[in-house]
Structure 1
Amino acid sequence: MRKIILILSAAGALLCALFSPAVSAAALDAAKLCASVLAPSLFPFFVCANLLLSLGGAEILSKGAGRIMRPLFCVRDKGALPLILGLISGYPCGAVVTCKMYDAGSLSKNEAERLMAFSNNAGPMFIISAVGNGLFGNSQVGFLIYLSHVAGAFLCGITLSFFAKKEKTSVQKYKNRHTGASDAVPNAVMSILNLSGYVIFFSVILAIMKSLGFIDFLCRILCAFGTERKCAEMLSSGIFEITSGLFSSGCKNIPCAAALISIGGASVFLQTMSFAAKSGLSLKYYIAGKLFSGGAAAATARLLLRVFPVSVKTFAPAAVFETSPYMYFAAALLLSFPLIFLFFPDRR
């Protein structure tokens, strides 16, 4: 593994040198995006979320939500804690808490692997403020995408409940360590820096992939299935990092944005993989679940747009609602195909 990392690091350094103008421009644009959009919009929400967590608000909310965990998701009521934290704090909080609870013996292996798929979600501060206001210029769009995001996660959890297994495990009480309220601001600063680091790093990776023609290749494949060009660019770029994909493509398609946010991209996947590997958890359900959530979120967003039409003055409405007849086939395919992964044995 170390040799592979060394080879990839050396190759990355060489590619950065070969495409230094594009890499430098991408890093600078990403830094400007973080400073002008992400930091101002997310910092106040991060502080409020940290205060909520430090005062035990998540545990209070999870006590009531715990009653629906077993009927809906076939997960014991303690699984409500990572679900609530994931919906409040965003990526990768849900996965982190799930792994910690599994290590503490509060969840079985099957429960933890399924729970990671629908508890690891984007937070409301990112979707409503950064995406809604920053990208679409309307917080109502952010609320609509967030509702679609949550609906996709819940549908994913309900679907994965059919793959629940009875396992004997000694259940122990998980104690969440609270930080002091005075740490809310410093922790928010570190969260912004951590997020900005990932955005800049994967923006550089994205610039290299564009220079090599890989992103254009992915766009052509998606366009062959009837996807709009700008939407294809968003999805192709967002595979690596969702923030870069959302803001660099210029696409204003709400269902596509909902799908991309629910899938998470390589940046979120690598963060989740590092925690899951330490706990010895498989990502079989996570991969299938995230692809399913993306399709479900896109379908939910399209349904909500029909019921609650949103007017955004910064772009033409046709840019939001424009679709191809093939998109319905692609959505059905996206919803059904990931389930195939669930029938393959774990080959870790």
Structure 2
Amino acid sequence: MLAALVLLLLTFALLLWPVAVTGGIASSLSYCLSALVPSLFPFMVLCGFAVESSAALWLSRPLGFCARYLFRLPDCCAAPVLMGLIGGYPAGARGTSLLLEKGRITEKEARRMLMFCVNPGLAFTVTYLGIGVFGSPALGLRLFLSVTLSAVVLGVLSGLFSPLPSPDKPGAERMESRPGALTRSVEGAARSVLLMCAFLLLFSGLSALLHEAGIFQGAVRLLSRLGVFTPNQWAAMLSFLLEVTGGTGDARALGIGPGFFAFGLAFGGVCVHLQVLAMFRKPPIRPPLFLLCRLAHGLLSAGAFALMGVISPMENASTAPVMAGIYRPELSGGWRGGASLALMCAAFLLMVPGETGKSSLRAPGPKLISVAGVKFPLQNR
């Protein structure tokens, strides 16, 4: 009955607000093609190739010591753990699922790997957030370090009471290797990336429905009564809990500080959680325990980021989007500066509507949402 009720409500909502849903999905589709697929697909292929081929034999020699003594995991887990720390959210889960399918690790070991091998990629954190959002690669690197170090702490804690695994037998990976490892790696990575994009599109449409129906704003007003965060901070927090890429966009529009980004990146959002669990035929970890680990990771990451700020303070970075290359000092004076100013004035006069009509060149302003008396722009994702 509950499933039928949800189905009817979603169908009615899709018919009532089709423009908002299609706009959010179209924006997210553009993000998938321009950022998500290029950044994650190579790491997914490499992670699959490390498990499918005999490359794990050579990688386990320098990295297997850390996997065995630091995380109490077999040597073959070294490459998936590394990919899970630097390659993006599903990369570690993909390697874990392959190891479990091949019988290289037990279900308990796969469960422990999922406790800390779900992290944002280095390119997304440093390039997109550090340079594109904050205008500071150093701040993006600090966010990445806070998330990664907290994941390492979780991994160490998860293996405290586990027995020390025995080293892998020499040549085991070579004996299990089969021809066509690259083909299987590309095929598995393509399937996994397509699944990730599908979940992202689904949650983008769901987020648009929640905003249009006023459910999101109502939840923010209700949480604002607790007095822990401001309404804008609660709005950013809810966006992060739902979907991490939408959370970064909303937090950027709301001017939220980077500490919230540290929590949101480590938590990952429910959309990422479903992507990770969908990598397995039967997930080795229960969803409540996985959610608890994600919350612990988020809190540890926020604490690590705050501690880094105390140890090595940084100048406050703006969350406004960076428009690199706009400012040209050589055009700020002289005849070139005057000509540039005249051209800008002419363009402005063309875009301003006259008394009798509207200009077709004028772009519509952003839609504002009022949350507990505070207005902020709604970002189509």
The aligned amino acid for 2:134 is F
> 1:43 corresponds to which residue?
38
> 2:375 corresponds to which residue?
none
**For residues 272 and 247 of structure 1, what CA distance do their matches in structure 2 show?**
22
Q: Is the 8 A contact 2:48 2:94 kept in 1?
A: no
> 1:336 corresponds to which residue?
none
Q: 1:97 to 1:284 in 2, by over 3 A?
A: farther
Displacement of 1:220: 3.9
Listed one character per residue, the Cα deviations across residues 10-29 of structure 1 (whole Å, up to 9, x for unaligned) are: 54333211222332333344
Match for residue 273 of structure 2 among 269, 281, 284:
269
| Deviation larger for 64-73 or 237-246 | 64-73
> 2:23 corresponds to which residue?
25
Listed one character per residue, the Cα deviations across residues 192-229 of structure 1 (whole Å, up to 9, x for unaligned) are: 77655443331211111223333234434554251233
Q: 1:220 to 1:7 in 2, by over 3 A?
A: closer
Q: Is the 8 A contact 2:125 2:143 kept in 1?
A: yes
Match for residue 263 of structure 2 among 259, 273, 295:
259
**For residues 300 and 256 of structure 1, what CA distance do their matches in structure 2 show?**
12
Q: Is the 8 A contact 1:258 1:301 kept in 2?
A: yes
The aligned amino acid for 2:14 is C
**Equivalence map 1:1-348=2 (5 Å):** 11-31=9-29, 33=31, 38=35, 43=38, 47=42, 60-162=58-160, 164=162, 173=173, 175=177, 178-179=181-182, 196-220=197-221, 222-223=223-224, 224-249=226-251, 250=253, 251-278=255-282, 281-283=285-287, 285-311=289-315, 314-315=318-319
**For residues 225 and 161 of structure 1, what CA distance do their matches in structure 2 show?**
37
| Deviation larger for 47-56 or 247-256 | 47-56
SS in 2 for 1:75: coil
Q: Is the 8 A contact 1:102 1:112 kept in 2?
A: yes
Q: Is the 8 A contact 2:243 2:269 kept in 1?
A: yes
Displacement of 1:267: 1.2
Displacement of 1:142: 1.4
Q: 1:11 to 1:65 in 2, by over 3 A?
A: farther
**For residues 77 and 175 of structure 1, what CA distance do their matches in structure 2 show?**
16
Q: Which structure: larger Rg?
A: 2
| Deviation larger for 272-281 or 64-73 | 272-281
Displacement of 1:277: 4.3
Displacement of 1:98: 1.0
Q: Is the 8 A contact 2:73 2:109 kept in 1?
A: yes
**For residues 43 and 280 of structure 2, what CA distance do their matches in structure 1 show?**
28
TM-score, with normalisation over the residues of structure 2? 0.67
Aligned residues: 307
Listed one character per residue, the Cα deviations across residues 131-155 of structure 1 (whole Å, up to 9, x for unaligned) are: 2222222222211111011011111
The aligned amino acid for 1:237 is S
TM-score, with normalisation over the residues of structure 1? 0.72
Displacement of 1:62: 4.6
**For residues 275 and 187 of structure 1, what CA distance do their matches in structure 2 show?**
10
**For residues 135 and 31 of structure 2, what CA distance do their matches in structure 1 show?**
15
Q: Is the 8 A contact 2:24 2:204 kept in 1?
A: yes
Displacement of 1:289: 1.7
Q: 1:221 to 1:262 in 2, by over 3 A?
A: farther
Q: 1:112 to 1:162 in 2, by over 3 A?
A: same
Higher helix share: 1
- Sequence identity (%): 22
SS in 2 for 1:115: helix
Q: Is the 8 A contact 2:239 2:246 kept in 1?
A: yes
| Deviation larger for 254-263 or 129-138 | 129-138
SS in 2 for 1:96: helix
| Deviation larger for 62-71 or 111-120 | 62-71
Displacement of 1:234: 1.6
**For residues 62 and 220 of structure 1, what CA distance do their matches in structure 2 show?**
51
Q: RMSD in angstroms over aligned alpha carbons?
A: 3.8
Displacement of 1:297: 0.5
The aligned amino acid for 1:151 is L
Listed one character per residue, the Cα deviations across residues 94-147 of structure 1 (whole Å, up to 9, x for unaligned) are: 112112212222112211101111112221111111222222222222111110
**For residues 131 and 319 of structure 2, what CA distance do their matches in structure 1 show?**
13
Q: Is the 8 A contact 1:276 1:283 kept in 2?
A: no
Q: 1:284 to 1:141 in 2, by over 3 A?
A: same
| Deviation larger for 113-122 or 99-108 | 99-108
**For residues 266 and 315 of structure 1, what CA distance do their matches in structure 2 show?**
24
> 1:341 corresponds to which residue?
none
